[in-house]
A = this chain, B = another copy of it.
Amino acid sequence: MRIAVLGGTGDEGLGLAMRFADAGHEIVIGSRSRERAEAAAEQVRAAATGAKASSAENAAAALTADIVFVSVPYAAQRPTLEPLKATLAGKVVVTVVVPLSFGKGGPQAETVPEGSAALEAQAILCSSRVASAFHNLSAHELQRLDQPVDCDVIVCGVDRETRQTVIDLAASIPGVRGIDGGPLSYSRYVEDLTALLLALNRRYKTETGIRITGLPVPIPA
């Protein structure tokens, strides 16, 4: 599978790119800057033995990919996606975006007019198959390829088939379980939870994640 990671130069996008490359997928790092994209692709190739990782500007990266990840700050999601509407039509687009603010009281989730970053992405990309996942994974844990990641990935998405594609991809990261979180209207709970986890990280000086308890083993598809 050929996976583009738009915003793949950021910590979280880079970590996801490394893990997917490590799982044998072909990666294209996308960025507004061709140079920064290539520097990140070089980091992916250095981290994962035999990694197939190239780089491109966002539009070119999106064009050739089967699945497109969006891992940019919230404020950049709309400007990144709007020009790619036609390019992304029919593709699975996974937004990792969390609307956050960092004020005096600590990290907090920001209100999004559409209800969540995922619903905003779907409103922009009405012809794409939008999913939302991977918000709660620590970027640093993702980049430590020698260790499994102790976190579940709750996947929301427009339809069951789209969610299952992303659930399978999540499960390709050692330690991670992909869980069907339902339609995109449920994404805000998963996005918002990130603010709580970041606050816990500060309080307990660690990198937190979440597990859902009580699920059947194995989790039925």
Contact = CB atoms under 8 A, between A and B. Distances in A.
Nearest to A206: B214
B210 A206 contact: no
B215 A204 contact: yes
B203 A214 contact: no
Nearest to A201: B214
Contacts of A213: 150-151, 208-211
Interface string A183-200: 101101110110111011
A207 B213 CA distance: 8
A216 interface: yes
A33 to B, nearest CB: 32
A181 interface: yes
A217 to B, nearest CB: 11
Nearest to A179: B200
A154 interface: yes
A189 B181 CA distance: 16
Interface in A124-175: 138, 141, 150-151, 154
29 contacts: A105-B183, A105-B185, A106-B186, A108-B185, A109-B189, A138-B214, A141-B214, A150-B213, A150-B214, A151-B213, A181-B199, A182-B196, A182-B199, A186-B195, A189-B192, A189-B195, A190-B196, A192-B192, A193-B193, A197-B212, A204-B219, A204-B220, A205-B216, A206-B215, A206-B216, A210-B210, A210-B211, A210-B213, A211-B213
Given A181-B196, A189-B189, 15 more contacts: A105-B185, A108-B185, A154-B196, A181-B199, A182-B199, A189-B195, A189-B196, A197-B212, A204-B216, A204-B219, A205-B216, A206-B216, A207-B214, A210-B211, A211-B211
Interface of A: 105-106, 108-109, 138, 141, 150-151, 154, 179-183, 185-186, 188-190, 192-193, 195-197, 199-200, 203-216, 219-220
